[in-house]
Every structure is written in structure tokens, then in C-alpha cells.
């Protein structure tokens, strides 16, 4: 009797997950999966709105969700995040309200940046996430400077610096890595290697086989991580963060992921990517990978997914409607947060 093909073995069993992630492992994975579906729905909605002319610009993070969510869940409240283009999700997972982020995308009067910053460059001070710069790599040295400040304040916080594979070619990468290594600072350098620096493939970006190997030149550990595996990503981030918190210095983590979308809504990847790139990248999609694990463990059903998507869709629709009903920043905000209030000098009128 032909019993059919053998089932594919699970990469993690329930006992494995309890040992690796603790007693609350199922809640952690469920939370991560919900954020993945939220992020995917957000990307799809905002790309559609940009194409309709309702949002000016958008840089999707499709395919990178496992890294951003793991960072949001592994960090402590007092840690600081210095993002690249696609780490908006870290701020949301750490507690930045989705509605506030959508106000930012529309650059309306409730945008914390008052419309002064590009979309996907949110300001999220309440969760210690700095607005990114469009200049590649500047956030690396900013994170290192912040970590140097932790040293003087005797603060147990850690700074995370996010950058892409292209960011390893800029001067700030060398300056930041070298300074952090010399002074043994609490920084985790997170290289999200999605194989493309806009249109430049990674093999033309650097001659080393693994970008993580560059850490050795600065006297710090470097590890290559499968960025489509949420569990491995979460564990590696947690270990690097705790090592930095214990005073063991910086770590470089290279998360290998595959860009599943255009660089931004201003980009046409069909002009430079292989014709089969989309299919190749989809094989490394982190969302079905986590979904299959949850299903095999009996923690997910189609009914649960449908209800989850319904709730996410309703939340997004409400946020977009609120943003579109909000007027742009008024003229009275022109100098807000630009000039400090003048203080009278003691002994003068």
C-alpha cells in the first residue's frame, strides 16, 4: 500500500520553541504573525494609494517583516533605534500608533513631523526611534554616538543601527564600526541584505562572500542570519542585545533577505532585475514560513486568519479616513520645533 509522501519535518517542535523562546512562545509567534499580516496589508494599501495620487511616495518593506518585528519584540523600552528606509515597522511594534504613522504618510496636521519629512521617514520619539535620513548610512554613526552617550550616562540601553547591503560601502559604515569597536560600545549593527542597493546587486557591492565577515576588521563578532526565519532572527537579535547590555560590546548581524517589491514607488525593478527575480524572492517570504509553522503546531486556522485580516483592514481604513479628513499643517506651525523659546537673562527686564 502506498502511504504517499512523508510529511516535511517541522523545523521547530513545541518543546524546541519552549526551550528557545520560553513558556510564552506561542503568544510571541502569534504576535509576530499578526504584525506580519498587518505590515503586508499596510504595504499593499499604501502602494495603491500612491498609485492613486493620494500619497506622494512609499517604500515598502515586503519580505523584510521578520527582521523588523523581531527587533521590535526583542528590544527593551529604553533602547534606541536608528532605521534605514524599511524599518517603520519596528516603531509600530514598539508602540508607535498606526494612526499616527498614517498621519505622517499623508503629511497632515497631525503628523508629528508637521509634513517636513518624506513619507516612510517617521518621527517616533515616544518609542525612541529616530527619523531616518535619505543619505545612505548616516544613521550608523548617529547610533554609535548615541551609544557613546549611554556610556557617560551609565545607561543600560542599546542602540540599533539598520542599513542595507549598500550601506556597507559608505564612509559612515567604516567610521561607525571602527569607533564602536575601539570604544566597545553597546551597539547592534543590523545589515538587512536584501540583495539590492536600489539597482546594484550585492555581488557588485562588495567582494566578500558574506558581509558579516567585515566585522572581524573592527574587532567585533559578525554573524550571518536567515532573515526570513523569524525565530532565528529573534534569537540572534536577543543574544546580540543582551551581550551589548552586559558590556560585551557591539555585534554585526547580516540578515539575508530578498527584496520582494520595488525599491520604492518611484522605482521600476524590471529595468535591472532578472526576469525570474520575483519568483525567486517569493521562495524566501517570511510570512508563509511562519504561517506554516503555526498551522502545523495547531495554532492557526483559516477562520482565524480571515478574522485577523478583517480586523486589520478595518483598522487601516479607519486610519486612512482619519488622515484624509485632517487638514495640512497650518502656517502657524512654520516655526514650531525650529526655534527654542527665548529665556530672559537674569537681572534684565
Pick the CATH number of 23-97+124-298 from 3.40.50.300, 3.40.50.970, 3.20.20.70, 3.90.1150.10: 3.40.50.970
Q: What is the distance between the alpha carbons of residues 252 and 22, in angstroms, rounded to a whole number?
A: 25
Task: Name the residue ranges covered by the structural domains of the chain.
Answer: 23-97+124-298
Task: Indicate if 128 belongs to the active site.
Answer: no
Task: Indicate if 184 belongs to the active site.
Answer: no
Nine cell digits for residue 220:
567585533
Note the pLDDT of residue 1.
Answer: 36
**Helix, strand, coil percent values for the chain (each to nearest 5):** 50, 10, 40
**Segments of the chain with pLDDT less than 50:** 1-8
Note the pLDDT of residue 345.
Answer: 62
Q: What is the distance between the alpha carbons of residues 156 and 349, in angstroms, rounded to a whole number?
A: 44
pTM: 0.93
- Catalytic option among 40, 142, 259, 289: 259
- Strands of the chain, DSSP E: 80-82, 159-164, 187-193, 196-197, 200-201, 222-226, 251-256
Q: How far is CA 84 from CA 159, 277, 313, in A?
A: 14, 23, 26
pLDDT, tens digit, 9 for 90 and up, residues 42-76: 999 999 999 999 999 999 999 999 999 999 999 99
In a 13 Å sphere around the CA of 79, the CA atoms on its Cβ side amount to 26
- Catalytic option among 86, 263, 284, 289: 263
Task: Indicate if 12 belongs to the active site.
Answer: no
DSSP 3-state assignment of 316? helix
Amino acid at each position: 500500500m502506498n502511504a504517499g509522501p512523508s510529511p516535511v519535518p517541522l523545523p521547530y517542535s513545541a518543546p524546541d520553541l519552549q526551550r528557545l523562546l520560553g513558556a510564552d512562545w506561542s503568544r510571541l509567534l502569534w504576535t509576530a504573525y499578526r504584525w506580519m499580516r498587518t505590515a503586508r496589508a499596510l504595504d499593499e494599501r499604501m502602494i495603491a494609494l500612491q498609485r492613486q495620487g493620494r500619497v506622494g511616495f512609499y517604500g515598502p518593506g515586503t519580505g523584510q517583516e521578520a527582521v523588523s518585528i523581531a527587533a521590535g519584540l526583542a528590544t527593551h523600552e529604553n533602547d534606541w533605534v536608528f532605521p534605514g528606509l524599511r524599518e517603520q515597522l519596528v516603531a509600530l511594534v514598539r508602540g508607535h500608533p498606526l494612526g499616527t504613522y498614517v498621519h505622517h504618510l499623508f503629511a497632515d496636521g497631525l503628523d508629528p513631523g508637521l509634513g517636513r519629512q518624506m513619507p516612510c521617514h517617521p518621527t517616533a520619539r515616544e518609542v525612541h526611534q529616530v527619523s531616518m535620513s535619505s543619505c545612505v548610512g548616516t544613521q550608523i554613526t548617529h547610533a554609535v554616538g548615541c551609544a557613546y552617550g549611554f556610556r557617560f550616562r551609565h545607561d543600560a540601553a542599546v542602540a540599533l543601527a539598520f542599513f542595507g547591503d549598500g550601506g556597507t560601502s559608505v564612509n559612515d559604515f567604516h567610521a561607525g564600526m571602527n569607533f564602536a569597536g575601539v570604544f566597545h560600545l553597546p551597539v547592534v549593527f543590523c545589515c538587512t541584505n536584501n540583495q539590492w542597493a536600489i539597482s546594484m546587486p550585492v555581488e557588485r557591492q562588495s567582494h566578500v562572500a558574506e558581509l558579516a565577515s567585515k566585522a572581524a576588521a573592527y574587532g567585533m563578532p559578525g554573524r550571518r542570519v536567515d532573515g526570513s526565519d523569524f525565530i532565528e532572527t529573534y534569537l540572534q537579535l536577543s543574544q546580540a542585545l543582551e551581550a551589548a547590555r552586559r558590556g560585551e560590546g557591539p555585534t554585526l548581524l547580516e540578515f539575508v533577505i530578498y527584496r520582494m517589491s520595488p525599491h520604492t514607488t518611484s522605482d521600476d525593478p524590471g529595468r535591472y532585475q532578472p526576469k525570474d527575480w520575483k519568483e525567486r524572492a517569493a521562495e524566501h517570504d517570511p510570512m508563509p514560513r511562519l504561517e506554516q509553522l503555526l498551522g502545523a503546531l495547531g495554532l492557526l486556522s483559516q477562520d482565524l486568519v480571515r478574522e485577523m485580516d478583517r480586523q486589520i483592514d478595518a483598522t487601516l481604513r479607519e486610519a486612512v479616513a482619519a488622515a484624509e479628513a485632517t487638514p495640512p499643517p497650518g502656517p502657524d506651525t512654520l516655526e514650531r520645533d525650529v526655534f527654542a523659546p527665548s529665556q530672559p537673562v537674569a537681572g534684565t527686564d
